Amino acid sequence: MTDKGAGFELNQDTSMGINIKWLIQIIIVAAMVVWGYFGLTSRISQLEIDVLRMKDSVSLNSEFRVKWPLGQLGALPDDAEQNMRLGFIEKDMAKIEAHVDNLRIKTVQQETQEK
């Protein structure tokens, strides 16, 4: 008895046959695996960039949330106009209060003179 598999040798005359249908399927599967790999890596990279943008946005929002009420980031134009109007009203009120005080003083003086 001779073993047919034991005498197998590779040389220049050795040939290998593969079905063309299988070869095309292997190439298509390999291309799909490569396409899927690069699709996943690009999606992961995009998600990492999105996370970095969100972190930056959150930090800017936190800074804004703290500094805006304290007036460290400026004021709205409406706030400036309102503050200016309040300043004018405060000046007018001071004048009116001074006038009322003068009238009270004069009234007290008149009452003391009549007695």
pLDDT tens, position by position, 19-31: 899 999 999 999 9
With a cut of 80, say whether residue 74 has pLDDT above it: no
Q: How many whole angstroms separate alpha carbon 29 and alpha carbon 80? A: 68
Model confidence, pTM: 0.44
Predicted confidence at residue 1, as pLDDT, reads 43
Tokens found for residue 37: 């790999």
